[in-house]
Amino acid sequence: MRSEEVKRGVERAPHRALLKALGLTDEDIDKPFIAVVNSYSEIVPGHIHLRRLADLVKVGVASAGGVPFEVNTIAICDGIAMGHAGMRYSLPSREVIADSVELVVEAHRFDGMVLVTNCDKITPGMLMAAARINIPSIVLTGGPMLSGNYRGQRIGVASMFEAVGRFERGELTLEELRVMENAACPGAGSCNGLFTANTMACMTEALGMSLPGCATAQACSARKERIAVETGRLAVRLVKEEVKPREVLNEEAFRNAIVVDVALGGSTNTVLHLPAIAAEAGVKLSLDVFEDVSRSTPQLCTISPGGSHTMEDLEEAGGIPALLSELRNHINLDAKTVYGTLRDSVAKASILRRDVIRPVSSPVRSHGSIAILKGTLAPEGSVIKLSGLRDENVVMEGPVRVFDGEEPCMKAVMSGEIQEGDIIVIRYEGPRGGPGMREMLSVTAAVSGMGMGEKVALLTDGRFSGATRGISIGHISPEAAEGGPIAFLEDGDAVKIDLPRRKLDVLLPREELEERRKKWKWTPPEHAMKGYLKRYLNSVSSASSGATLN
């Protein structure tokens, strides 16, 4: 065991003395040391309950003969950070989380770890750390929040972002908005739809890094508490059997995860996070794999924001094990997991609601929910979530309205300047340009709330929340700050979006683009000239490769 390095031999007497200061006995010191890496936070609704779950994990570790040590990392709530300068720090926090886990776990030579997580950047950051450190590890995701209720309809935080547009349109009074605000988020857990947090929880289960049922078990349910205890027990077994993350996180596992993602209709942020996790595991995962898998996998679910169902419905339907059973001909059931193989998960699964998990023979659509678009505006690629569209055969051509940053665009939306048929471009919001690649949920939700969700197109080198719907194309690469073609667009330039052909083109002669390139110069924004954002800007890679640090 790695912990022998800090507790064996005469020369380790000072180390043992410090361990005994924690209350450990000689008997404890002989046991496996398990890090319970907790991202509990009092500012993040998805993490407010993680202290309780971590305590239950520790019960499981101790009952299986290990010694648990709770250590911590940070968490940012994307919903609270949305629509202002704070969102620049969300994606960059993923790397800080991975680094902080590496630092504390490697320094103390833990034998294994349980990663207690739940929300958008925290779960991928934890998985990146697991792959990087490569000691026996298992993930416990904290579970979805219950839905709110307004006039007999399930609502959540996405409903509130769209309610802002509805209020501006005169469809809601201020009092109705307040009633919704008080009802939308009834308690602890990740937001109730298939947004990035819950998508990544589903990815974690599909990758085989968490127990069956973990992704959909509600945050405050007894089932989640039982899973927490079992997760702690299993962590000790993984140490004894020397099962390491890179044995699980192989190329086949990532393909399985993408199959589940596009069958569910999940967040496009997986196109950033899965390649970043894969890179830490030594696996190359290109955008072309997402397109290939999505072309050959049917979408079987319509979960908010791409439909009326919520995570509660998916849990009632049997969760990820039930979905895997329906997708058995599209995945490798023999893929290794922390508990055995995916086949072990499917063996106990039943599809309990066919309205939530449709049969492969009668899918929502014959292909998956993610499309990768390339062309003269996005030479390295861009991404759109088809599950957020009523009509996926959009071919749209017209002049663009260009905004350097989210704020001027949001101002134009709220003042009524945006009209049906507009093609909006928000640039300098990529990994370098933001820096931090902000999500544009405030803009897209306001547009949807005003009734123009599929009558306006939005193109950006930034990204979109899992709660976004409509003709929203993000991750345009190379980004503006790298001198990508999006940097040279001017108001009135013609752009063509062709979803059936997976094309995104600027309709300008190559010579004109080259002339504009010669005149172009980018100066980093003032807010990026100090602190962590400055360091991030100078080392972050393109969105097309996962926005990892070089």
For every one of its 550 residues, what pLDDT tens digit does the chain have, with 9 covering 90 and above? 899 999 999 999 999 999 999 999 999 999 999 999 999 999 999 999 999 999 999 999 999 999 999 999 999 999 999 888 999 999 999 999 999 999 999 999 999 999 999 999 999 999 999 999 999 999 999 999 999 999 999 999 989 988 988 898 899 999 999 999 999 999 999 999 999 999 999 999 999 999 999 999 999 999 999 999 999 999 999 999 999 999 999 999 999 999 999 999 999 999 999 999 999 999 999 999 999 999 999 999 999 988 889 999 999 999 999 999 999 999 999 999 999 999 999 998 999 999 999 999 999 999 999 999 999 999 999 999 998 787 888 999 999 999 999 999 999 988 888 888 899 999 999 999 999 999 887 788 788 777 777 788 999 999 987 667 789 999 999 999 999 999 999 999 999 999 999 999 999 999 999 999 999 999 999 999 999 999 999 999 999 999 999 8
512-547 as b/e: b if 16+ CB within 10 A: ebeebeeeeeeebbeebeeebbeebbeebbbbbbbb
CA quadruple 40, 45, 46, 49: dihedral, nearest 10: 50
Write down the pLDDT at residue 83.
Answer: 83
308 is catalytic: no
Check residue 263 and give its pLDDT.
Answer: 98
pLDDT, position 185 = 96
Distance CA 248, CA 150 (A): 43
Q: Which residue has the tokens 């192989």?
A: 250
Residue that has been written with the tokens 């099962």 in this structure: 243
What's the CA gap between 297 and 361, in Å, rounded? 12
Angle at 86 between CA 84 and CA 91, to 5 degrees: 115
DSSP β-ladder status, 381-385 and 494-498: unpaired
C-alpha 217/C-alpha 297 separation (Å) is 25
Residues 6 or more apart in contact with residue 258 via CB below 8 angstroms? 270, 274, 289, 290, 293, 294, 297
d(CA 397, CA 11): 73
Half-sphere exposure of 270 (CA within 13 A, CB side): 38
Q: What is the pLDDT of residue 490?
A: 97
pLDDT of residue 387: 83
Q: Cβ contacts of residue 46 below 8 Å, gap of 6+?
A: 75, 77, 118, 119, 142, 145, 188, 189, 190, 191, 197, 219
Radius of gyration of the chain (CA): 23
CB 134 within 8 A of CB 105: no
Q: Which residues pair with 506 in a beta bridge?
A: 495
> How much is the pTM?
0.95
Give Cα separations from 479 to 118, 287, 430, 485, 499 (angstroms): 29, 16, 6, 8, 20
> Which member of 39, 294, 369, 465 is catalytic?
465
Cα(76)–Cα(89) distance, integer angstroms: 8
- H or E segment and range at residue 399: strand 395-404
Backbone φ and ψ of 549, nearest 5°: -90, 135
Amino acid 491: pLDDT: 95
Q: Is the dihedral of CA 126, 128, 132, 134 positive or negative?
A: positive
Question: Sign (positive/negative) of CA torsion 145, 150, 153, 155?
Answer: negative
